Structure 1
Amino acid sequence: MTDTEHGVWLHLRAHRFMGLKFKRQKPLGCYIVDFVCLEISLIIELDGGQHAQQQAYDQRRDRWLQGQGFTVMRFWNHDVLLYMDAVLEQVRLWVEQQQPSPPTPLPQAGEGS
């Protein structure tokens, strides 16, 4: 693992992030993703400088993963190292948007009058 991956993994592992189970370096088809939560079909990819030269490859890869039902969130290593809290907040907000809110309970008899 890179230092950046290790830093993110400390937050995601062992159900530490919103109680979700993430796996790292998980093969999906012919690709290996950095982090994946299968229960909500979320992939988190951390990109170093080499990704600036392989944008076409990353786009093909993301399209294939999206075709399998996954959402791919990509973050630059630099941003993760400097703004870890903001990166995790972005992921948290995405997760919350995917989970429906529980219905509001109806008032019990005699309440609410």
Structure 2
Amino acid sequence: MTRTASTSPTYDAISNRQTEIQHKVEGSVLTADDITRAHHYGQNGATRRQLTGVSTEEAGKKTADTYAYDKTGNTTKRTLAGTTQDMTWDEEGHLVRRPSRARRRNMSTTPTATV
């Protein structure tokens, strides 16, 4: 018999998820405690619908993920589990992945595709 975790979310008046509790499953070896998340919107110049952070607490350990946006609403930076990713967008709204400066200096002149 497979047991699945249940989730208890709450929402604000404009349907942004505010909190989420993933309840532990009895007998599960994956988690010993409930996982609680608080979602944050509209901080640091973002709109009230743009997710700017998620605070997570599990077994007394607290972590935070953050998100930043440009004026057109594209995600420009996100920090997940302590790792920060910078994102660049072209004029048409397409995500452009660019290597870091250090990597660009060490690259050969052979052209490579950018995803």
Q: Same fold (TM over 0.5)?
A: no
Larger Rg: 2
- Which has a greater percent of strand? 2
TM-score (norm 2): 0.23
TM-score (norm 1): 0.24
- Which has a greater percent of helix? 1
